[in-house]
Amino acid sequence: MKPLKPSIHYATTLDGALPQHRFGATRHIHMVGIGGIGMSGMAEILLHQGYHVTGSDGSLSETTERLTSMGATIHQGHDASHIEGADVVVYTSAVKAMDNVETKAALEASIPVIKRAEMLAEMMRMKVGIGVAGTHGKTTTTTMLGHIIQDASLDPTIIVGGRVHSFDKTNAVVGKGEFLIVEADEYDRTFLKLTPTMAIITNVEAEHLDIYKDIDDVKQAFVEFANKVPFYGVVAVCVDDPTVRSLIPEFTRRLITYGLDPSADVYGFNVDKKAFSTSFEVIAMGRPLGVFQLHVPGDYNVLNALAAISIALDLGVPAETIKKGLERFNGVFRRFQRKMDHRGVLLIDDYAHHPTEVAATLKGAKHGWPDRRRIAVFQPHLYSRTQQMSAEFGASFGDADHVIITDVYPAREKPIDGVTGELVASAAKDAGHPSVHYLDTAEDLPHYLIDMASEGDLILTMGAGTIYRYGEKFAESWQGGEV
């Protein structure tokens, strides 16, 4: 297969920094919510590029400590004095601009106040941007593609929504090459501010319905995102996803289709799944490329890999280089991460917080360990999502032998009357699950697991909130011999 390459030469600055003709005299960038997973990666890149970065967050963490060690000035808590001297104030979508004392002070002082996505869009304009979008799989796909482009000696800059083992346990890599690979998050429609040259759409489902009116609104946003790619760019889309397949007639840019469906341009088959690894073969544009190896499980990770393979092939990266990049990928924190294997009990943690993700995680666990008792521990994330999708969540636990539901992790939201984790627990019972228990506080989880765990169990903690911490507390007690 002759690789398709972009037809335009992309100019970049000599040092990779954001050019002064765009940023003018901007040197001091203040970031509200700097400790968040999206903001911290951006802050790291700006620090490497020589900008004076300050920030604030509700609490300090290992992430903020890392940024401080790189030269950032970070305040715990928010105060108007923190923005002194700033040329621009950047805030995360988790922050309400009109409710935050720092953003309000900046507006009153006529200092530009912008969302994270707007800053990311400016950074992308200076590079060949590759945006990875989709309801699920963004972080893993972005990281896989980043590994491949690194192994192709293209030295990309990468920003992902999770800590990566091979990225020195951080979520950003600063490269000197022309490529910027980022997650394109649909929350708050932020991905519509980006200007990628190449894009991936992994899947499209009803999500963030506190922002979107309905699934049709979500679909149209993804169509708009895909069609923002320039005429010389390309969009890789997953034909295994029925919603994405239905949108293909509305995409106006060059497409590469990928999937486990034989009709795909980049087709994966002969998938061999093991507990913590997967192998599969690929045919791309009719050309056999051989066997690819992953150190992560599940069909969903094969699809993520096929997305990365599609873009890499379009850039002319040799198949053998792609294979090496994927083999080097050893996972992302909180993505089917093994936390403990002790005294006959295996503990795995996953970021799954949508019904499809929960079901896929449990399916992978059942395939890898069919003979173990599988205990699913789920912390619902967001009151709105819990209210809107309780029935779907309830139906997602079919591959678990025992289900534990905790209270809701609110994140950015205020409580909604009558909405608790018990909605999900009740829905699981209504779906016919024979063993469901509701804990109205996640703090009780470690003791509950100590009482019920036995040799041969596989325990999976799932959710986008703090559930992993309670799993870790259980692991500490279990490894300490507590029974």
Active site residues: 138-139, 183
Residue 156 one-letter amino acid: P
**β 373-378/457-462 pair status:** parallel
Terminal CA-CA length for the chain: 59
For 280, residues 6+ apart whose C-beta sits below 8 A from its C-beta are 268, 269, 270, 271, 272, 291, 292, 294, 302, 305
Residue 186: Cβ within 10 Å count:
23
H or E stretch including 63? helix 62-69
- What torsion, rounded to 10 degrees, do the Cα atoms 247, 143, 356, 400 define? 160
Quick one: angle between helices 355-368 and 299-314, nearest 10? 110
Integer Rg of the chain from CA:
22
Query: Are 237 and 307 in contact, with CB atoms under 8 Å apart?
Result: no
Distance in angstroms (rounded) separating the CA atoms of residues 357 and 335: 11
Q: Where are the alpha helices (DSSP H) in 137-241?
A: 138-151, 215-227
Q: Number of H helices and number of E strands within the chain?
A: 15, 21
H or E stretch including 14? none
